Structure formats: C-alpha cells, structure tokens
Structure 1
Amino acid sequence: MPSICRSLPSASPAKPATAGEGRPASRRFVLAGVASLLASPLLPAAPARARGPLPDFADLAERVMPAVVNIAVLSEQTTTQVPPELRGTPFERYFRERRGRQQMQGAGSGFIIDATGLVVTNNHVVGNASRVIVSLQDGTEMPARVVGTDDLTDLALLRVEARASLPFVPWGSSASTRVGQWVLACGNPFGLGGTVTSGIVSARGREIGAGPFDDFIQTDAAINPGNSGGPLFNTDGEVIGINTAIFSPTNASAGIGFATPSDLARGVIEQLRRDGRVERGWLGIAVQDYGTEPGARRGAQIQGVERNSPAARAGLRNGDVLVALNGERMDGSRTLIRAVSITPPGQTVRLTVVRDGRQQEVAVQVGRRPPSAS
C-alpha cells in the first residue's frame, strides 16, 4: 500500500526470530547468566556511574509539531477481477469500462519546509494519487499539488495554497549526526494524527536494498505504518531524516526504523522545487566493489560498458578499476555511483583508472541518467 512505511522483506539480513525460536534463546541466556553467577565469587558491587537527566522532549515537540502534517491520498487503480459469471458475456466489457476503476484511500505524513506551503513526504505515500489532502495539527485541511517526485530516493514535494504563512522547520546536517544521539520522530501512525516518539540513532549508512542510493539512518524511535514521510528531528529541532521504512515481522514498530538522511534529501528536494524533476549524472557502466580484502587498494571495477555511453566514448573498458574521481579516493562502487549521480550532466570529470597494473587519468563527460538505468 502506498500509505505505509515500507516493511523490509524477510530476506533482509536481520532475520526476525519466531516465537518458537525466541523462547529457547531467552532461556539459554538466563541459564548462562545464572551459571556464571553461581560459579563466580561474590565481589563488591562497582559504584554506579553518575547519569545525566534524560531529555524532556515536551518543549521540542511543542515547537516542531505545528509544521508536521498528515497526508490523505485518493487514487484510482484498474481492477482486472471480473466475476466468473460475467466472463465471456457482453457484460464483461461493461464491467471493465464502468466498474473497473476503484478508489483507494491511504494516509501518510509530511513536514513543511517553507512558509509558502512546500511539504516534503515520501514518494510511496502519494504514489499515483489523483487527490492529496494535507491536514495541519489544528485540523485545517488543504488540497495539495504534487510538485515532483523521485522514485530512486523515495521522496516527493507537495505544495499547498494557504491564506497565511505556515509554520515550517529547518533542515539539519545528517553528516554531523552521531550514533547514540537522541532523536524525535513525528507523524501520523495508523492514521491517528500527530504523534511523537523518541529514541536514539542506532546506526548510520545502512544499506537495506531499497536502491542505489541507500544510506539510511537507523533509529529505535517507534516508526509505524502512516509515519512514512514524517520528519526525524535532532534535539535542536532540525530535520535530519525522513522516516521511510521499517524492519518488522508484524508490520509494526520493532525498534528498527530507517530514515533517508537530510543531506541526501535536501539536494533532491531543491531540484524538485526548481525543476519538478531530478536529473542525475550517468556514465553507463556496471561496477562492483574491488579490493575488499584487508590492506588492498579499494575501488570500483567495471563489469560492463554500455554502447554509445559516456564511458564508452571515453574509452573505459571491462576490468578497469576506478580508484578516484577528481582526485577524491573511492572505497567502493556505491561511492562512485553517488559521486557521479550528483554531478550535473554535461560536466567533465577526471577518473583515476588502474588498467593492467598501470594508473592513468581519463576525462569523461558525464551524461544524463536515463529513466531505465538501474
């Protein structure tokens, strides 16, 4: 459904244990603990470390929530299910033409980034919606227009027309976010309306198989269906992420949520705001990580070159190892893909290439990424 935070497939690395698997594991943990206590001599307890007070998010929530919105979508899809008794009869065509389109409703979250009414959300929230309604925390409802969407980063930009200036929140730097820092997630879980949950940054740079630009912030702040598109705040009230996906065997929060980092989202949103679409650089090569063993020189090795692509015109070949772009070293294929994608089409870059044991510089004019590129 387009209205929920996406749940990762069960094939993801952190396979959830079933109830049957979980109980014996817990029992083994407890028994091992008891055994170790019985086998160890009694020692005086270590003095407890002084702990600072836990944060109070009340002031933060009061400040940022007016800019967090609920999003309702109304879309249409073609229904191909024809009742068996109508198949092969003249009524089958009538059913497909007159009753074959059904409306679907969904709900998601978003946040306002400009007083004039620009709203950020996930692409999978709006999907192919024929109508989008944005609701403020005070209950005000406004129709929204989709300015642009980007499927590769699952981001969308909406615009609402308001009679007065709207409250908005600023972007923060996801690059300066540290594992263990407190965060506040806001949104519309299960369609309940404005809700806040708190937690910490559990990890950074997570790759979850969503696409070539995976670089997610992982958090244990509760994120549930309906939170998609909502903001993840730092304690300064800055948006450092957009809540996008969860890992859960139940499709509800299991303490593992993922947010698109603000440093990635901000550039995409600015392009959508300016042009209504995102244009990315493209070389036309298939690459894989090179030098993954300890101590080896790392880079991206070319596995395929498309005909008439920028890479082909520059003379790049299968087996070439790309180790730097414009002098900046690369530690793998994803680094290369991200660096090229943010390069404006038409700009020339300098690639450092290792071929047959020799290092050389190759100039490549970056092309425009076609919609079909993976």
Structure 2
Amino acid sequence: MNQFTKLFLAALLSGVVTLGTYKLLLDHTGYFAANNNSITTTANTSYGQTVGLASEAVDFTQAAENTIHTVVHVKNVSYKTLSNPILEYFYGYKGGQSQEQIGTGSGVIISADGYIVTNNHVIKDASEIEITLNNKKSYQAKLIGTDSKMDIALLKIDANEKLPYTSFANSDSVKIGEWVLAVGNPYNLTSTVTAGIVSAKARNLGTNGIQSFIQTDAAVNPGNSGGALVNTRGDLIGINTMISSMTGSYVGYSFAVPSNIARKIIEDIMEYGNVQRGILGVEGGELNAMASKELGLTQTEGFYIHKVAKNSGAEKSGLKKGDIIIKLDHQNIATYADLSGYINTKRPNDKVQVTIIREGATKVIPVSLSKNEFFSTEFKGIELENITPEDKKKFGITNGVKIKSITNPNLMQYQEELLGNIILSIDNIKVKDVESVSKMLNQKEEKQSIRLEMLNKNKEHLRVII
C-alpha cells in the first residue's frame, strides 16, 4: 500500500470518528442535548436582558432629572476674630479683626414647603445660611435643629412657590450591588450626578456618632456633603456625608447616612425639638472567628452581650450576659454597626423583637427601649444627660443635668474640668431634667451666648458663659 493510500484511509477514519462523536454527544438527540434528562447547562435566554450590566439595562435619566431639582447649594457664612499675639503679649491688647469665612455644601429638599436636610458640618458655626436652588433662585435659610453625632441638620426656607422634593426610601431594603446616584454640588459646581453601586451596608468607620454608613463607589467630592444618594427610582436612600481619601478628593469610596436614620432625626427635631434616642441597654461586641474561639462559642456572627445596664429595657426583659443577638425585628444582626444602625432609627419606649441565641437555643424576647435613664441632648457641642439618684445624693440636689461629653473644639481644652459637672441653671432659669433643657435650648440660636451655673466634681459653684 503506497503512502497516499495510507493518508487517505487515516483521514477517512478521523472524519467518521468526529461525526459519530457529534451525533452521540452534541446533536439535539445527544447526551448533552438541552432536552436530555441528565445535565442541562443552558442559560436562560432572558439573562442578558435583565441581569446583564449593559448600559441599556439601567436607565438613570428619569431619576437624575427628578433629583437634580431637589438638591440645593448651601452657602455657610461665618465670622472669625483674628487676634495679634504680639500686641496681646506686650500691650495687653485684646481686640481683633473679624474675618468672613465661607463654606459650601449641598442639601436636599424634603418637603414642598421648604424643609431641607444637610450635614451638620456643612452649616456648623454659621452666622448666615444661603440656599440656591437649581433654578438659580436664592433664599436665606433658618436653622431648625441639628444632630452633630449623626451629622444631620434641618433647615427651612420660605419660598413663594411649592418646591420639588425627594421622597424617603427604606434604606434597610437597599441591597449590596444596587445601582445608586449621588447628586450634589462638588467644587461649587451646579448639580452634578454620578453613578455607582452600593458597595457595603452598615459600614462602621469608628466615628463617635455614626456607626452605620452606606458605602458606595459613586464619585463624591468636597461640596457633595449633604447631597442626595438615590436609587434608580429617584428615592432618597442616604445623605452623602464623607469620603475615604488621603488627598481629600474621591479615590474610590464614599459614605452616606442611611435615610432611615436621617428621617428619624428630622422627625424628632420637628416634633420634639430634639433627638429622641432609644437605648437597648446592652454592652458587648460583635463576634468573629477569634472572639468566638476565646469565648468558646461556635457562633461566629452576631452581637455578644458582656453587660446589661441596670434599669434598662434589656434588663427588664430578661436579656443577660452571654446572650448573642442575631436579629432585631426582621433585621439580621452580624456586626455592631448593624445593631447601632437599627437602634438609631428607634425612639424611647419603642418595642423591638430581639432574637437571641442562649445556650444553643434560639429565643425571641420583646424589649422596650429605655428613655429616662439614658436620655440625652446636645447644645453647642456639649452633650447633657439626666442625673442619677447617686448624683442627687452626692451633690445634695434634687434637679439638674450632667455634662456627658464634649464635642465642641473650642471647649476640648477644658474637657477634663467640665466632664461630670452638674448644670443647675441656664440663663438664671433652674433646670429640671434633659427634656426641659432641650426645649429651652431649642428656642435659642446656636450663636447666642448662654450663662451656666454648675457644680464641679469638688462641689464648687462655677458660673461660665459659652
């Protein structure tokens, strides 16, 4: 047999094997056919249309169009007195030159009659607040109330027309990977829209107040603070408040106060004149592999209770050390940020269904959030709380409020001397408790000086003006 014949027979045999394999395995009657009962790997034909990331799959235009008209430019005018240390040292000169300082940010109109939410740091120490709408109209704004811990402030403008506004969405239902838009006024530009996804929820950055941010990769820059984070329907899911950056400009991630927290703060300010903080009354920490190993636990997610506060709702309901909180109402609790974020949406006396693991068994315990023992308010960067029976006995008093913490930078140098002091009167009016003080201070302007009479830790009477 010559060489040509051998090659021809080899090629023919190869073709027969290939055709037979196709018929056996890949044909519509073959082993891997779509209608074969063994294994099916065919993707749904609608997958690319509904789940794919093609730009035509998500339309941002309507949400952007609705939102840009509800986001405003906020101008903060303050005045700082500049002193001359040389003149003060040699000549005892105490005068100074007043210098105007201007800060800018964003805000979101939340009602047709002109209520606006923004960040507290955007309007902090403002003597004047000017609001510019997207149609270039400007108004002077009145400060209604603030919560520096959660970095939220409520403003009001009086316009001669009904204003477009953004509706609140339920931030608890926001999903990781969901498309979002950030709308604000970065670098003093007019309303700017950027898009991204929700990167994480209940993000704890170790700040003093907010412990439950929404993290997104939508570009947020200086000037965006106080602006809107909305979903693709244009509903408000957060108030943009900060960026994580070594340069001060956006480098990948930004953070927003969840709308449920912001809405609760705003409603409190409007209804009560102060923020009503509900307290569960437990101390502890979130579980992880290392913590669970040290505690001899198999559960690696949840909030482990180390201590239950006396007279708190948690104690009255029977929560105790060693319980692991895994759910509040229908909200899963895996971290401290999950727990604090949910509680921050509640008020004193609200009832929460607490799901715990105790000695391997799951229990659901209703807990009424505490009020009087832990109620606090804040003014000019001084957080106040009610005095305890021990305080009354120690100082020989029947009424007053205690300085709990200091956040005012101008008072930080006196923090050690002020913490724990008992305020007896404000502007010569005797104070009863935090609730009455809160109502009194709510009628005063932030820039207005007030006189305090207090007892320090040595029971000495002090009078100060702040």
TM-score (norm 2): 0.59
Task: State how far apart, in whole Å, the 2-side matches of 1:234 and 1:355 are.
Answer: 39
Equivalences for residues 73-152 of structure 1 within 5 A: 73-77=76-80, 79=82, 81-91=83-93, 93-95=94-96, 99=97, 101-152=98-149
Q: Is the 8 A contact 1:290 1:321 kept in 2?
A: no
The structural deviation recorded for 1:119 is 0.5
CA contact (8 A) 2:202 2:337 kept: no
CA 1:221–1:326 in structure 2 vs 1: closer, same or farther (change >3 Å)?
closer
* Aligned partner letter, 1:192: L
Structure possessing the higher radius of gyration over alpha carbons: 2
Alpha-carbon distance between aligned partners in 2 of 1:172 and 1:338, rounded to the nearest angstrom: 16
User: What does residue 300 of structure 1 align with?
Assistant: 304
Counterparts of 2:246 and 2:124 in 1: how far apart (Å)?
24
Aligned twin of 1:11: none
Give the Cα–Cα distance (whole angstroms) in 2 for the partners of residues 363 and 172 of structure 1: 26
CA distance in 1, matches of 2:275, 2:235: 24
Contact kept? 1:302, 1:317, Cα under 8 Å: no
| Superposed displacement of residue 314, structure 1 | 5.1
SS at match of 1:61: helix
- Find the residue that maps to 2:65 and give its secondary structure: helix
Counterpart of 1:177 in structure 2 is 174
Q: SS of the counterpart of 2:127?
A: strand
**Comparing 316-325 and 350-359, the one that deviates more:** 350-359
Corresponding residue for residue 247 of structure 2: 250
Deviations 1:43-82 (A, max 9, x none): xxxxxx7853344534432232111100001123455x53
Asked whether the equivalents of residues 174 and 240 of structure 1 are also in contact (C-alpha less than 8 Å), the reply is yes
Deviation at 1:85, TM superposition (A): 4.2
Structure 1 position 257, deviation (Å)? 0.8
Q: Classify the secondary structure of the residue corresponding to 2:171.
A: coil
Of 237, 241, 263, which aligns to 1:240? 237
Q: 2:261, 2:344 within 8 Å by CA — same for their partners in 1?
A: no
Report SS of the residue matched to 1:281.
coil
Q: Which residue type is aligned with residue 63 of structure 1?
A: N
Identity among equivalent positions (%) equals 34
Residue in structure 2 matched with residue 276 of structure 1 by the alignment? 273
Q: Which residue of 2 aligns with 1:369?
A: 375
SS class of match (2:69): helix
Aligned to 1:191: 188
- 2:153 matched to which residue of 1? 156
User: When the two structures are aligned, how many residues end up with a matched partner?
Assistant: 318
Looking at structure 1, the residues matched to 328 and 180 of structure 2 have their Cα atoms a distance apart, in angstroms, of 36
Structure number with the bigger relative contact order (C-alpha 8 A, sep ≥ 6) is 1
In structure 2, the residue matched to 1:22 is none
In 2, the alpha carbon distance for the partners of 1:67 and 1:356 equals 52
**Equivalent position SS for 1:204:** strand
Gaps of 5+ in 1: 1-48
- The CA distance in 2 between the partners of 1:140 and 1:212, in whole Å, is 34
The residue type paired with residue 249 of structure 2 is: A
After superposition, residues 326-365 of structure 1 pair within 5 angstroms as 331=334, 333-338=336-341, 340-346=343-349
- Displacement of 1:187: 0.7
Residue pair 1:300, 1:331 contacting (<8 A) in 2 also: no
Stretches of structure 2 lacking an aligned partner (at least 5 in a row): 1-47, 378-382, 384-403, 406-466
Shift of 1:181: 2.5
Partner of 2:71: 68
TM-score by length of 1: 0.72
SS in structure 2 at match of 1:225 = coil
Q: Structure 2 vs 1, CA of residues 108 and 346 (structure 1 numbering), >3 Å: closer, same or farther?
A: same
More helix by share: 2
Q: Distance in 2 between matches of 1:350 and 1:62?
A: 40
Question: Root-mean-square deviation (CA), in Å?
Answer: 3.6
**1:261 Cα shift?**
1.6
- Pair 296,107 (structure 1): closer, same or farther in 2 beyond 3 Å: same
Once residues 283 and 176 of structure 1 are traced to their aligned partners in structure 2, the CA distance between those partners, rounded to angstroms, is 22
Distance 2:281 2:354 in 1: 14
